[in-house]
Structure 1
Amino acid sequence: MEHRESTQTPPLVVRPAAPEEFGRLLPVCVEAFADEAVSAWVEPQPGLRLDRTRELFETSLREAVDAGQLVVAFLPAGDAVAASVWIDLTEGAAEPPPPADDTTQHHATQATRATRATRRLATVLAATSARHPATPHVYLSAMAALPRRRGLGAGSAMLRHGLDRARRIGLPVYLEASTPRNRRLYLRHGFRDRGEPIHLPDGGPSLQPMWHPAGR
């Protein structure tokens, strides 16, 4: 279903991504999601973050597109500016290059970093999964706009689209806000805090679980 935000300048079109659009939308999702607080903690090196985000999330993004769970905000010309992932849970719950003569050490270092990122992602998933509501709900697992496209209202447009759908299917919506700014956006759209924040270790961000009774 397509949702047009006529009050935006320029107007945005919000709709689920089609499977055949995956190739052109993947770079948009990677760039948008890589700039978020959790991604920055998973891969602290800015120069590696785009590649690491793609490595860690390409498969799940493909699955989201195939399931109709990737909701994207487009400009009228068709350029994607933001993306979000809405999952129905109805069963319950940059650094300098290495010296030219040190290739082996460089590859070993890269492998170590990849392992660290994988471990940190597993930490995020374990911590958030432990707090998921047991009742059926829609999980807004990710939402972000391209850094150069922020300020267009894409976040609000995608929230309206997702909440409208949740009302139609009779389900509440759950998420974790990764920054105070994001939390304020969700509060404006009717979300409320659900319990204490989830504190990621090693200086990671605090994630605030939030709940919207959209299906009522």
Structure 2
Amino acid sequence: MTAPITTTRLATITELDEVAALCTAAFADEAVMAWVLPDPGTRLQHMRSMFGSSLGAAVEADALLLAVAAGESVGASIWMPRSGRPQPMRLPAEDDPVSRRLLSVQTETDARCPDDPHLYLQSMAVRPERRGQGAGSAMLTSGLTRARELDLPVYLEASTPNNRRLYERHGFRDHGRPIHLSDDGPSLQPMWLDV
């Protein structure tokens, strides 16, 4: 059986719950999420809460791109324009391990963010049962077309060897040394593409 054709389009505000569920399923086994939220019993609940605000901001910025196959959203990616490094994140109100790890991820990735204006591929998620069927490539092709239209390079941090290989196939190259998250966290590989 062949996989259905995958198309891409911007997400709408009415799809936030569906996209949050998609991202929660896609990131449930991802290395950084598993490190930030080590308790599998509460991980999904925390992730739904975390995705709600970031996905809403991405929709408002016309930066949330969906991959759709056979009428179903199978992937989502966030392509945020950036001009320089982001402002330092405020310390979380709670002093708990999850907040500290989230702050660590944000601080360590922001420190490596390029100063030049670029599109930041903040995240890319594909439903686990749809991985390897072209959704990631479809989103990358569409996002890179937008980058060319805006005349902006693209920056990202690859969180797995498989992701890194996908990005390399689309022309990305390593951008400096890996980011090793503290407290025995996973490593992220910054990558860059001049379009």
Normalised by the length of structure 1, the TM-score is 0.82
- Could you give the per-residue CA deviations for residues 104-143 of structure 1, whole angstroms, max 9, x where no partner exists? xxxxxxxx9x932121111000000000000000000101
- Could you give the per-residue CA deviations for residues 177-204 of structure 1, whole angstroms, max 9, x where no partner exists? 0111111111110000010000012221
CA distance in 1, matches of 2:17, 2:159: 27
- Specify the alignment match of 1:39 in structure 2: 33
Higher gyration radius (CA): 1
Moved over 6 A (4+): none
The answer as to 2:121 corresponding to 1:140 is yes
Q: CA deviation at 1:25?
A: 2.1
Paired AA for residue 28 in structure 2? A
Normalised by the length of structure 2, the TM-score is 0.90
CA distance in 2, matches of 1:179, 1:26: 21
Identity of counterpart residues, as a percentage? 54
CA distance in 2, matches of 1:25, 1:149: 15
CA distance in 1, matches of 2:46, 2:35: 12
CA distance in 2, matches of 1:16, 1:140: 14
CA RMSD in angstroms, aligned pairs only: 1.6
- Specify the alignment match of 1:71 in structure 2: 65
Which of 51-60 and 121-130 deviates more? 51-60
CA distance in 2, matches of 1:54, 1:81: 17
- Specify the alignment match of 2:167 in structure 1: 186
- Specify the alignment match of 1:123 in structure 2: 104
Paired AA for residue 172 in structure 1? P
Paired AA for residue 166 in structure 2? L
Q: CA deviation at 1:57?
A: 2.7
Unaligned 5+ runs, structure 1: 1-7, 94-111
Contact 1:173 1:213 in 2 (8 A): yes
- Specify the alignment match of 1:50 in structure 2: 44
Unaligned 5+ runs, structure 2: 86-93
Contact 1:179 1:205 in 2 (8 A): no
Q: CA deviation at 1:170?
A: 0.1
Equivalence map 1:18-37=2 (5 Å): 18-37=12-31
Matched residue pairs, number?
186
